Amino acid sequence: MKEFRAVVAASVGLHARPAALFSQAAKSSGNTVRLAKIVDGQIGARVDGASVLRVMTLGVKCGDEVVVTVEGESEEETIAKLKEIIESSDH
């Protein structure tokens, strides 16, 4: 299991298109992906990263920090894809 932190760059946060892109990448990876929002240095509830609805319920906005855990066969590849989605402002 590997974990990383990233700051959300999309102006809409992890809502609509960015959330869908994240969830699709998580689901297609075949790995278990969990996502949580960090508030005041505390990690909040972790949700299933493959569920667009669960990702959107976190209310992650632009500039918010998140923590993502990935467990499975291709962790490094999955991390690279997910990090790119989170840190991209092109959504």
Question: Are β-strands 42-43 and 47-48 bridged in parallel, bridged antiparallel, or unpaired?
Answer: unpaired
* Catalytic-role residue among 13, 14, 15, 60: 15
Known catalytic residue at 15: yes
Size (the chain), residues? 91
Within 10 angstroms of residue 50's Cβ, the number of other Cβ atoms is 21
Strands of 1-91, DSSP E: 2-7, 32-39, 42-43, 47-48, 65-71
Active-site residues, by number, are: 15
